[in-house]
Amino acid sequence: MKILICFGTRPEAIKMAPICLELVKQNIPFKLCVTAQHREMLDQVLNFFGLLPDYDLNIMKPNQSLNMLSSRILSKMDGIFETEPFDIVLVHGDTTTSSLVALSAFHRNIKVAHVEAGLRTYDKQSPFPEELNRQLTGRISDYHFTPTIKAKENLLSEKINESEIIVTGNTVIDALLVAIQKIDEGYTNATIESLKNKIDLNKKLILVTGHRRESFGQGFENLCKALLELVREEDVQIVYPVHLNPNVKNVVYEKLSNIENILLIEPLDYPSFIWLMSKATVIISDSGGIQEEAPSLNIPVLVTRNTTERDEGIKAKCSFLVGTNPKKIVEKAKEVLDSDFVMKVNNPYGNGNAAKRIVEFLRDFKYSKC
């Protein structure tokens, strides 16, 4: 059996790395392909987990449209499939890489397995283009590794055969536990040491991230307005690793530069971000991965989106949907910053065994191919 694992962005790399490591641990051969949809941020994750791609498509170009990106992925994957036959291709989540790699494999009659399958908002504009990417990948895939029972139920409602769905938990928790263990055992880098000198750990730390297209413009202006209100509290410090997209960066730096107790920094490498996240009192973010990771650290997340495909966290009250309404952000942030607020929940997204469950399936799949 020949396995190809393919991803392109930093979040995908984080969530697929535990599968690669488990395959290596169990001595199951595979090939790794990266599209490099995120170049620098992707490479940082690969280095941290010690992964070396067999194929690097390097598909990004300046100001590239989604259609141009899609066509380049299809074309370059065709070249790989002409060079080497595969029995199964693993893709992840909701990226353009995932949906187009899945489509290219389908065109070659290769089985597709979807990691982090079944998440839905059923609003194709929110998040855009991720929601439709998930649905397209779901229709193409032969096997679906869902992180939760709710995700499985979504697929069943879409008439996916139950025998093709495997509930595994989310591999992002596997990756988080690996990173935390390394940090606890003394791992550090120049960025972590620099952060230690810049952050006042005697204050309540609000960690902020944001990158979603649907928040470009007024959404990010509203977020900045809320942060300016929150930082008036004397015991609060805000740290904001600002996304490099000009639609985010230009607004944030215009509104929040040179404000006392607001630290605007460059995007962080994965271990540095995990270290910073572990120090936070509350996180304000539109990130799906952070919604999944933070409960393992007992840190509440204010989700700056109008919808989320991760309802389990909302129901468990470890995440709170606030959109980009400044009043809602400020009110909920002050509530969770209150000294009486305590969050102690079992992470609804997994316990760190997802990669083992996925590799167990692949091992059984291998024997079925013999």
- What pLDDT digit, counting tens, does each position of 56-87 carry? 998 877 778 899 999 999 999 999 999 999 99
From 12, 130, 293, 312, active-site residue: 130
- Asked about 221 being catalytic, the answer comes back as no
Tokens standing for residue 92: 């992840």
CA 355, CA 139: separation in Å to the nearest integer? Answer: 23
- ω before 326 within 30° of 0 (cis)? no
From 39, 108, 243, 357, active-site residue: 243
- β-partners of residue 111 are 88
- Asked about 116 being catalytic, the answer comes back as yes
- Asked about 193 being catalytic, the answer comes back as no
Q: Are 279 and 205 in contact (CB under 8 A)?
A: yes
Domains of the chain by start residue, with CATH: 3-169+353-369 (3.40.50.2000), 190-337 (3.40.50.2000)
Task: Evaluate if residue 368 carries a pLDDT over 70.
Answer: no
CA 269, CA 171: separation in Å to the nearest integer? Answer: 18
Residue type, 335: E
- Asked about 360 being catalytic, the answer comes back as no
Q: How confident is the model at residue 345 (pLDDT cuts 50, 70, 90)?
A: confident
CA 84, CA 102: separation in Å to the nearest integer? Answer: 16
- Asked about 144 being catalytic, the answer comes back as no
Task: Evaluate if residue 94 carries a pLDDT over 70.
Answer: yes
pLDDT of residue 126: 85
Task: Evaluate if residue 369 carries a pLDDT over 60.
Answer: no
From 114, 211, 305, 310, active-site residue: 211
- Asked about 292 being catalytic, the answer comes back as no
- What pLDDT digit, counting tens, does each position of 10-58 carry? 899 999 999 999 999 999 999 999 998 767 778 889 999 999 999 999 8
Q: How confident is the model at residue 343 (pLDDT cuts 50, 70, 90)?
A: confident
What is each CA distance from 322 to 197, 268, 330, 350, in whole angstroms? 32, 25, 9, 24
CB neighbour list of residue 334: distance below 8 Å, 6 or more residues apart: 230, 233
From 12, 38, 72, 94, active-site residue: 94
Q: How confident is the model at residue 338 (pLDDT cuts 50, 70, 90)?
A: confident
From 12, 22, 116, 311, active-site residue: 116
pLDDT of residue 370: 43
pLDDT of residue 367: 57
In which region does residue 258 sit, left (phi positive, over 0), alpha (psi from -120 to 50) or beta (all else)?
A: left
- What pLDDT digit, counting tens, does each position of 102-135 carry? 999 999 999 999 999 999 999 998 888 999 999 9
Task: Evaluate if residue 216 carries a pLDDT over 90.
Answer: no
pLDDT of residue 62: 77
